[in-house]
């Protein structure tokens, strides 16, 4: 389904302006190259945008390693950006050529994952929380803790993201709060907790659409989620769900645009970066995906007050309360291996 959708969207975009002067090929998340704002960019810049969508951060490296030269721009999350630099897949940014660079929240510009040897490799774009979500009708008393995903009374009604993030969730439930520096022993404990939870799980969700389907079909009532996105889709379908940040806290994520090494379409790529950081791109993506954006000034200028508040753009404490994803480096394997072992059981 996803592939068909992607192909259709790519075709839709490819059928854009006929008088294109250049092209820019982006490998990104759904919504980040949505026609609602990309069409305007194509008309103004003369650059044709061709978008391919990923379902996971794990798709970037294999797609670029397995015969590159196709994509000009990518948008990995902050736990994957360092890997892109380590693999030599991306090049340093000319930040002087990006208008609005200094309006980006300092918290994002200070992230280590997008820098190397004094140069920036990633342009912060959007951010959000890995919040939790429940079906209103199933909870007379709203859940407040991660432990609610381990409640035997909800057997067969629980879903969890099929990602190494589940290790972070289980670790916090165990009281291990330094989730990006877990010891082998702590990972083992998290694994045990996930194995214990497994009989209660209906399905591990892999894509946004899948989680929406699970709620819509009445299969699950509680899960984690990409804050703003799936709940927005569900509300549009008339399914009443509520997001919450459990007392054990939540992970935060931030996606950055990176320029693929030696791209031949540099001119269009930088036009595209400028657009994405401008009001057009920032409010464009916020309206499509319901994510918070990285450019403080643009957000203030183009968002209605209500949306500005709902997306926590004015709330630095909210951002600080999130444990922003970090690159796991050589510990990456220990985390993914533990999660694979849980799934194998």
Partner 1 sequence: MIARAPRNLSALLVLGIPLLWIVVFMLLPYGIIVTYSFWLKSYPTFKPAFQFGNYLTLLTDVQYLQVLGRTLKISILVSILSLGLAYPFAWWLVFRCRSQALRTWAYMAVIAPLWVSYLLRAYIWKTILGTEGILNSFLMSTGLISEPSSLFLYNQFAMVVTLTYIFIPFMVMPIYTALERIPLNLAEASADLGMGPVQTFLKVTLPLSTPGIAAGFTLTFCLSFGDFIAPFLVGGPDGNLIASVIQTQFGAALNWPLGSALSIVMLIIVLAIVSLSDRLEATAHTGAA
Q: Smallest gap, in angstroms, from Cβ of residue 157 to partner 1? A: 8
**Longest pairwise C-alpha distance within the chain:** 60
Q: Smallest gap, in angstroms, from Cβ of residue 142 to partner 1? A: 23
Q: Smallest gap, in angstroms, from Cβ of residue 84 to partner 1? A: 9
Question: Interface residues with partner 1 (CB under 8 A)?
Answer: 1, 3-4, 56, 58-59, 61-62, 65, 83, 86-87, 156, 164, 198-199, 201-204, 206, 213, 217-219, 329-330, 332-333, 336-337, 340-341, 343-345
Q: How far is CA 284 from CA 13, 275, 300, 322, 342, in A?
A: 16, 10, 14, 24, 38
Q: At what angle do helices 165-173 and 184-197 cross, to 10 degrees?
A: 90
CB hemisphere CA count around 145 (13 angstroms) = 8
Please say which residue, 110 or 345, places its beta carbon nearer to partner 1: 345
Please say which residue, 308 or 325, places its beta carbon nearer to partner 1: 325
Q: Smallest gap, in angstroms, from Cβ of residue 8 to partner 1? A: 14
Please say which residue, 117 or 330, places its beta carbon nearer to partner 1: 330
| Angle, vertex CA 24, rays to CA 288 and CA 8, nearest 5 | 55
Q: Smallest gap, in angstroms, from Cβ of residue 217 to partner 1? A: 5
Q: Smallest gap, in angstroms, from Cβ of residue 200 to partner 1? A: 9
CB hemisphere CA count around 81 (13 angstroms) = 28
Please say which residue, 201 or 298, places its beta carbon nearer to partner 1: 201
How is residue 54 written in tokens? 């990923």
Please say which residue, 21 or 219, places its beta carbon nearer to partner 1: 219
Q: Smallest gap, in angstroms, from Cβ of residue 18 to partner 1? A: 31
Backbone angles phi, psi at 201, to 5 degrees: -80, 135
Please say which residue, 87 or 119, places its beta carbon nearer to partner 1: 87
Please tell me the distance from the alpha carbon of residue 218 to that of residue 213, in angstroms, as a whole number.
Answer: 8
Q: How many CB atoms lie within 10 A of CB 153?
A: 7
Please tell me the distance from the alpha carbon of residue 241 to that of residue 215, in angstroms, as a whole number.
Answer: 9
Strands 119-120, 115-116: pairing is antiparallel
Please say which residue, 94 or 333, places its beta carbon nearer to partner 1: 333
């Amino acid at each position: 389904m996803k592939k068909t959708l992607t192909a259709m969207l790519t075709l839709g975009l490819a059928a854009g302006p006929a008088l294109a002067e250049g092209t820019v090929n982006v490998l990104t998340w759904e919504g980040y190259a949505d026609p609602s704002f990309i069409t305007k960019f194509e008309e103004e810049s003369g650059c044709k945008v061709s978008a391919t969508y990923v379902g996971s951060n794990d798709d970037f490296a294999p797609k670029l390693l397995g015969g590159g030269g196709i994509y000009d721009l990518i948008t990995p999350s902050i736990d994957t950006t360092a890997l892109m630099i380590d693999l030599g897949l991306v090049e340093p940014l000319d930040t002087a050529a990006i208008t609005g660079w200094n309006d980006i929240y300092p918290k994002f510009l200070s992230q280590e994952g997008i820098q190397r040897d004094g140069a920036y490799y990633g342009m912060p774009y959007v951010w959000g929380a890995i919040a939790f979500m429940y079906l209103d009708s199933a909870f007379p008393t709203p859940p407040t803790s991660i432990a609610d995903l381990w409640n035997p009374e909800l057997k067969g009604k629980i879903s969890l993201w099929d990602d190494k993030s589940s290790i972070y969730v289980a670790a916090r439930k165990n009281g291990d709060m330094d989730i990006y520096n877990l010891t082998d022993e702590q990972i083992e404990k998290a694994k045990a907790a996930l194995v214990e939870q497994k009989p209660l799980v209906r399905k591990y969700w892999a894509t946004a659409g899948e989680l929406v389907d699970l709620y819509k079909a009445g299969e699950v009532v509680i899960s984690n989620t990409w804050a703003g996105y799936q709940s927005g889709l569900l509300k549009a379908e008339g399914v009443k769900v509520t997001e919450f940040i459990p007392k054990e806290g939540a992970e935060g994520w931030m996606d950055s645009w990176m320029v693929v090494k030696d791209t031949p379409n540099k001119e269009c790529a930088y036009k595209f970066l400028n657009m994405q950081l401008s009001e057009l791109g920032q409010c464009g993506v916020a309206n499509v995906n319901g994510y918070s954006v990285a450019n403080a000034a643009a957000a203030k200028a183009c968002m209605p007050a209500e949306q500005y508040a709902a997306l926590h753009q004015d709330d630095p404490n909210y951002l600080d309360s999130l444990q922003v994803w970090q690159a796991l480096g050589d510990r990456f394997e220990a985390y993914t291996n533990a999660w694979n072992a849980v799934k194998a059981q």
